[in-house]
Structure 1
Amino acid sequence: MEHREETTTLISADKVSGTNVYNTVGDSLGEVHDVMIDKASGRITYAVMSFGGFLGIGQKYHPLPWSALTYDSERGGYVVDLSRERLKGAPVFADEAQPKWTREYEQEIHEHYLVAPYRGSQAER
Structure 2
Amino acid sequence: MNYYNDYFNYDTVEYLDYFNRQQPGEFIAPPSAGGQSGPTPMGPPPGFSPPIPAWQQGPGGLNGCLFRNTYIWLRNGNSFWFFPTFVGRNTIIGFQWRGIGWIYNVINPNSVVSFQCF
TM-score, scaled relative to structure 2 = 0.32
Higher-Rg member (1/2): 1
